[in-house]
Amino acid sequence: MIEPPQRKKLPQYNSIEDAVELITKSKKILVLSGAGISTSAGLPDFRSRNGIYVQIHAEHPDLSDPKSMFDIEYFKKNPVPFYQFAKALYPGQYKPTIGHRFIKCLEEHNKLLRNYSQNIDTLEKQAGIKHVVECHGSFAKATCTNCKYNVDGDVIRNDILNRKIPLCPRCHSINEGPEVKLGVMKPDIVFFGEQLGDHYHSCLESDKNQVDLLIVIGSSLKVRPVALIPRSIPDHVPQVLINKEPLDHMCFDIELLGDCDTVIKELCSRLGHDWIDMLRVQATPLTQIIGLPLPKTALDDSDSSSKSKKLGSVIPTDEIDDSKKISKNIGLDKSSLIQSRVVDTDALNSSPLVAERLAIVDVEKEIEVDRDMPDRAISDCDRSSDEEWEDVEILPQTSSSSDSDSQKKLSLEVPETSYYFLKPNRYMFHGVELTKAQYERFAREQEKISEQDPTLVQ
């Protein structure tokens, strides 16, 4: 699949103050939201330690890949797993979160260009957001897999809530007989292997030339083509990430990591009282701590833990150095080196979205690790365009024990009243999760920054 090359970080944007200023000044903000924006409503996300994929694996251990539940070819053969879990995702059981209300605030302030939602829970519409594209469809409608009869989602509501497979009433009435195979009423959500609608492509084709700020909220950006949106807009457009975990395969100018609601409340407390009032919450400004928080789960490498202790100390706000003193990231470790692929740049320049019209795909299903690559220090985002790193993706780990250990998720000790700042552009709030490999890499990066200028890390 043709995809745009990795962008480079914009060095002038680093701090949370920069993020607030960008939101204040921007007029056409594009928000890309994923499952993480809905978790505080009670909806499970997909890839976290307690997410849907983990639950599917526990209930269906014979299912080799839990993501197959959302694969259209698997669904045609066996729709049972999907309908057993559809109840947990079905709309009407949940209410919009602070994240949804924040997007509505952007719209009320005439700043929202579009909200591209990867979710199927319809909470954006419940929040009253008008400029929204439901990229992966929703439960609002359902279509027969046999005769294509289309109905409102309420028609199959009772079956889904009772974990039953809804059968097509039209097939039953037209084709009676014991040998007739009835069609299954499939909600109009986009499965892996299905095309995204024309509405998505036409909106993106227009919006990518107007957007002046991209904010990604609660998405792992591992499902294409929506995951390619950050690479499809012009490189000069600032990009801000609000997510529980960092995304090693993407490049954002400012990373605000932790529970989406916690991060958004801190942003809105800085944006002004009218923003907090519209969120209908109370927000107390948080205390900033410089450095890397300790993990709740002990690392095997005691040296990494000792380093983190040196890196975390509270400092008064008026003594915080200007984060713009550092504009580049420090080297990646070997576990983050990645396999390059050849890009058809002519095809890319002529029609960057055509190749993504085919189907929705999961990045993790298509790529594998190159273990023979040399240990090479490269910037998180500043890869040279004339080297083999131009078109890259972070790759899933193989099944070796050392790789599996490095990908274990660590919850970090971040109090709800504070957040940690890792220079130059990464913040960690309550709820942040890192893999062991990411934690160790960040510790090394902060150590290198400290070696360059000891005053920058307290």
Which residues are CB-neighbours of 25 under 8 A, at least 6 positions away?
none
* 386 & 437 share domain: yes
The confidence score (pLDDT) of residue 452 equals: 74
Nearest to 112 by CA among 30, 224, 36, 177: 30
Same domain for 275 and 326, yes or no, is no
32 DSSP assignment? E
Same domain, 236 and 385: no
User: Is residue 1 a part of any domain in this protein?
Assistant: no
Q: Is residue 8 part of a domain?
A: no
How far is it, in rounded angstroms, from Cα 63 to Cα 74? Answer: 11
Can you give the pLDDT at residue 37?
A: 93
pLDDT at 224: 87
Least confidently predicted of 197-211, 257-271, 349-363, 380-394: 380-394
Q: Would you say residue 2 lies in a domain?
A: no
Sequence-distant (≥ 6) Cβ neighbours of residue 339 within 8 angstroms = 367, 368, 369, 370, 373, 392, 393, 395
How many structural domains is the chain composed of?
A: 3
CA-nearest of 283, 354, 278 to 112 is: 278
SS3 category, 113: strand
- Rounded to whole angstroms, the maximal C-alpha distance in the chain is 81
Task: Answer yes or no: do 382 and 248 share one domain.
Answer: no
Average pLDDT over residues 51-71: 65
What is the C-alpha to C-alpha distance for residues 54 and 58, in angstroms, rounded to an integer? 6
pLDDT more than 90, % of the chain: 41
Question: pLDDT-derived band of residue 120, with 50, 70 and 90 as boundaries?
Answer: confident
Same domain, 218 and 342: no
Phi, psi of 73 (to 5 degrees): -70, -40
Domain annotation covers residue 90: yes
Instruction: Specify if 124 maps to a domain.
Output: yes
Which of these ranges, 42-51, 240-249, 298-307, 427-436, has the smallest mean pLDDT? 298-307
277, 413 in Cβ contact below 8 A?
A: no
Tell me the backbone φ, ψ of residue 326, rounded to 5 degrees: -120, 125
Tokens found for residue 47: 């890839």
What is the distance between the alpha carbons of residues 262 and 29, in angstroms, rounded to a whole number? 20
Q: For the residues 346-355, what does the mean pLDDT come to?
A: 35
Q: Which of 34-38, 176-180, 331-335, 444-448 has the lowest mean pLDDT?
A: 331-335
Give the pLDDT confidence of 387-426 residue by residue, as tens digits: 332 333 333 333 445 567 778 888 899 999 999 999 899 9
Q: Of 279, 297, 330, which residue is a domain's last?
A: 279
- Assess whether 123 and 241 both reside in one domain: yes
Q: Please, which pLDDT band fits residue 121 given cuts at 50, 70 and 90?
A: confident
What would the DSSP string read from start to end of 390-448?
A: SS-------S-HHHHHHT-EEEB---TTEEEEETTTEEE-TT-EEEHHHHHHHHHHHHH
Phi-psi region of 92 (alpha: psi -120 to 50; beta: other; left: phi over 0): left
Residues 265 and 306 in one domain: no
Higher pLDDT, 204 or 331: 204
Domain ranges, residue 51:
16-138+196-279
Q: Per the domain annotation, does 206 fall within a domain?
A: yes
Contact (Cβ atoms closer than 8 angstroms) between residue 162 and residue 179: no
Residues 134 and 247 in one domain: yes
- Clarify whether residues 264 and 130 are in a common domain: yes
Residues 6+ apart with CB under 8 A from 266: 16, 283, 285, 286, 419, 429
Per-residue pLDDT, 353: 38
**CATH at 254:** 3.40.50.1220
In this structure, of 78-82, 148-152, 358-362, 414-418, the range with the lowest mean pLDDT score is 358-362
Residues 92 and 228 in one domain: yes
Residue 197 and residue 135: Cα distance in Å, rounded? Answer: 8
Q: For residue 103, give the nearest of 119, 89, 116 by alpha carbon.
A: 116
Q: Catalytic: which of 100, 109, 136, 172?
A: 136
Q: What are phi and psi of 324, to 5 degrees?
A: -75, -5
Length of the chain: 458
Task: Let me know if residue 220 belongs to a domain.
Answer: yes
Mean of pLDDT values over 321-341: 29
Helix 98-108 × helix 260-271 angle, to 10°: 30
Query: Is position 244 within any domain?
Result: yes
Q: Which residue has the tokens 């979710």?
A: 119
Say if residue 352's pLDDT is above 70: no
Please indicate, yes or no, whether residues 210 and 334 belong to a single structural domain of this protein. no
Q: Determine how many CB atoms are found less than 10 A away from the CB of residue 385.
A: 9
pLDDT in tens, 221-273: 988 889 999 999 999 999 999 999 999 999 999 999 999 999 999 999 999 98
136 carries an active-site annotation: yes
Q: Which stretch, 91-95, 344-348, 420-424, has highest mean pLDDT?
A: 420-424
Looking at the structure, tell me whether residues 107 and 176 fall in a common domain: no
**256: helix, strand or coil:** strand
